[in-house]
Chains A and B, each alone.
Chain A
Amino acid sequence: MDYFAGIDVGSLSTDVVILNGGGEVCGYSIIETGANSTEASEDALENALAQAGIGRGDLVKIVATGYGRVSVPLADRKFTEISCHALGAYYLFPYTGTVIDIGGQDSKVIRVGEGGKVVDFTMNDKCAAGTGRFLEVMAAKLRVPLDEMGDLSLHAKGEVQISSVCTVFAESEVVSLVARNHPREEILRGLHRAIVSRVWSMVKSIGVNGEVTMTGGVAKNSGVVVLMEERLGKTIHIHSEPQIIGALGAALLARRAFG
């Protein structure tokens, strides 16, 4: 049987998805990227191969994506994560018209057309506001574990307004809010609102089309998802492992390239 691998080398994690010829996922792995992305891609691939119970020789094509896509020597081709997220989301949720991907370093909104093809997209500018990095900085400042901050924010009774756009300014705002004894949950709620507003501008500039799927690590944050759904007025599709959508799309592209 033919197998296809997609490798997504991101700034935080390196993810691999393996598909069989029928297009079914038969193995995946998520590891930290660390300092050497070539090594990370090798390791992640080995893990996924082991999970699928196959060897490297069974792979027909490998596609790399993500920031580290250039440092994956084993890849036959590379594609940007924009094409990969669009295709991955389309594969999982075929009525997806819009993909919102909030990753560690950047966020993207993608308009998906027929067959999972990218019709239009936008990405945040250089600034970190509106990315996972923003939440990471704030989580550290508030001494809240990153994976708990979303749920905590949902327990807020009220909400404080974070007025600055800039991560650095917002950080100093948070410091003074803490100093004035504002409840942590309310500050968190405000922070989540701030990131959603930033991403919302991007959503509007691309336009909401059909169903919405969220990908990327921040999709695991319930606080962001709830506020985004509020803005959209509709529910968002989220896969249980939203980080691997890029790798999945890459594997699908590998399979498509062979077919």
Chain B
Amino acid sequence: MKEMIVIILTAVFVNNYVLQQFLGICPFLGVSKKIGPATGMSAAVVFVMILATAVTWPIQTFILEPAGMGYMQTVVFILLIASVVQLVEITLKRYMPSLHSALGVYLPLITTNCAVLAVCISNIDTGFTFLEAIFNALGSGLGFFLAMILFAGIRSRIEECDPPESFKGLPITLVSAAILSLSFFGFAGVIENLFA
């Protein structure tokens, strides 16, 4: 159990997908203007990351690798993620309309989110077991969630500021992302020593 907690904490704080590894920057900059959409988008990302890992890990381990087709990884994974997202959307719409109205809007946007594909590939590359992979996906998703919520709060303040003309809009947003990313450096080394 200790290993699982370490995996989650590392993924959330030390190797934060958005702020330390530059994955999923598009939604991070695009959907973080207001806290409502930011929460919905992040919840959908957590959900899809776990689901995508649960589908791609067994397929890679039990079908592609024994068949000697490990090189098909990229093609197979992106198709699997796209179909899983589509299936989830249809299922939610039919059986859980309330959840669909909260998350469904964001689901189609996630198909081409690089963070989802990255979590599936890195789970294979690091050699995680199935359980570890699921926890890593959960941690990565939560890390994305945390970064989005923090940044949505920061952006509502930026909107009220008056930066130099050329820095208005995206540049000042990126500079504040740099400062937020800097603050996450404080966590480096903490996790290893926490359970030592």
A binds B: no
Q: Which of A's residues lie within 8 Å of B, judged by CB?
A: none
Q: Which of B's residues lie within 8 Å of A, judged by CB?
A: none
